[in-house]
Amino acid sequence: MRAVVVDRLMNPEDLTVREVDAPTPGEGEMRIEVKAAGCNFSDVLMLKGEYQVKPPLPFVPGGEVGGIVKEIGPGVTDFSVGDRVLSRCALGAFAEEVAAPAAQTYPLPDALSFEAGAALPTVYPTSYAALVWRAPVLAGETLLVHAAAGGVGLSAVQIGKALGARVIATAGGPAKLEVARRAGADVLIDYRTEDFVPIVMEETDGKGADVIYDSVGGDTTDRSLKCIAWNGRLLVIGFAGGDIPSVKMNRVLLKNISLVGLHWSAYPDKEPEAIDACMEGLFEMAASGRIDPLIGARHPLEEAGEALTALASRKTVGKVVLVP
């Protein structure tokens, strides 16, 4: 079968497709025909050896898949060959087939396409866990979402609106702001030409945002603390801007705020029982039309490098998927 193979630490543009053996499902696994595979910023970091998970070489990247069950491994009882599924797998999704754990595989609802299924397993649970459990954001509160047109940011806008929040979105340029608006954002800020701090304060009558969803880091985090409300919660989602910030703790004290981290990839090890509840909540939102993954770009396997390069340079909107 065809697969994207990483045989050394590399940049996305160095990725190539090779012929490799099809995977054999082990205990508790299934072999899935990949109809779509989701791309994430963590994939870019993993290629370079800069992610917290460092798989041994060689490996096939990709941790999200929407597809059809082709073979059932030992110990799997809840699925059958031919089932439409979505799955979060550790590796291997950038291929025509992947062996995925049944424990992290779910029936794909009829309301979702294979591409939407591949867009769901990482960014939407991240935003759901952050906004429903970790913050949490309450109906009527103001939610500030940075990088709101990207995959994870767009999911936060949709889920925030589903929870009844007033959403302020930052993004770079009119096209991306239009994407955020269509997702439900109430206030739009172009971070390329506008300073979000005074606009957030003006839009909240001087109060500030109750919850700030920060997947960017760097200076964005520091400035966010200037427009956060009393008792506000700053959600630390990631550092797509490249710099891991330091926080002046006097601001945390003086505004009575909380710094709240969210590492969804650790849930299978730390809180596996929470995953089913999260997915159930997301499926309910999808069935009612309150969330709808936006597929911003589709690429064949041979363009995996191009897809990840665009993602890393923040030139994409919504979710980027590979379609074998």
Does residue 287 lie in a domain region? no
Distance of CA 255 to the CA centre of its chain: 29
Does residue 169 lie in a domain region? yes
Percent of the chain with pLDDT over 90: 86
Domain's final residue, options 246, 265, 284: 265
Does residue 148 lie in a domain region? yes
The residues pairing with 213 across neighbouring beta strands, listed in sequence order, are 145, 235
pLDDT for the residue 90: 85
Determine the 3-state secondary structure of 168 from DSSP.
strand
**Which CATH number belongs to the domain containing residue 211 in this structure?**
3.40.50.720
Whether 243 and 254 map to the same domain: the answer is yes
Domain's final residue, options 229, 248, 265: 265
The residues pairing with 169 across neighbouring beta strands, listed in sequence order, are 145, 188
Q: What is the mean pLDDT of residues 305-320?
A: 89
Whether 200 and 146 map to the same domain: the answer is yes
* pLDDT value at 313 more than 90: no
Q: What is the mean pLDDT of residues 269-291?
A: 92
Q: Where are the alpha helices (DSSP H) in the chain?
A: 41-48, 114-119, 123-128, 151-162, 174-182, 196-203, 219-224, 249-254, 267-270, 273-287, 304-312
* pLDDT value at 314 more than 90: no
Helix 304-312 vs helix 41-48: angle between axes, to the nearest 10 degrees?
Answer: 110
Contact 167, 161 (CB under 8 A): yes
Spatial neighbors of 245 by CB under 8 A, at least 6 apart, are: 217, 218, 219, 221, 222, 239
- List the domain range (segments joined by +) for residue 225: 123-265
pTM: 0.89
Whether 140 and 90 map to the same domain: the answer is no
Domain's final residue, options 247, 265, 283: 265
The residues pairing with 16 across neighbouring beta strands, listed in sequence order, are 5
Whether 77 and 144 map to the same domain: the answer is no
Q: Where are the alpha helices (DSSP H) in 239-303?
A: 249-254, 267-270, 273-287
Task: Convert 97-133 to b/e letters by CB count within 10 Å (16 or more is b).
Answer: bbbbbbebbbebbeebbbbbbbbbbbbbbbbbbbbbe
pLDDT for the residue 200: 98
Whether 105 and 189 map to the same domain: the answer is no
pLDDT for the residue 265: 84
Whether 127 and 259 map to the same domain: the answer is yes
Q: For the chain, what is the mean pLDDT?
A: 95
What are the structure tokens assigned to 312, written together? 């890393």
Whether 52 and 150 map to the same domain: the answer is no
Whether 84 and 24 map to the same domain: the answer is yes
pLDDT tens for each residue of 95-126: 999 999 999 999 998 889 999 999 999 999 99
What's the CA gap between 293 and 108, in Å, rounded?
13
Does residue 81 lie in a domain region? yes
- Overall domain count for the chain: 2
Whether 251 and 128 map to the same domain: the answer is yes
Whether 260 and 137 map to the same domain: the answer is yes
Does residue 57 lie in a domain region? yes
Whether 145 and 257 map to the same domain: the answer is yes
Does residue 274 lie in a domain region? no
**Which CATH number belongs to the domain containing residue 64 in this structure?**
3.90.180.10
pLDDT tens for each residue of 132-153: 999 999 999 999 999 999 889 9
pLDDT for the residue 316: 84
Whether 165 and 228 map to the same domain: the answer is yes
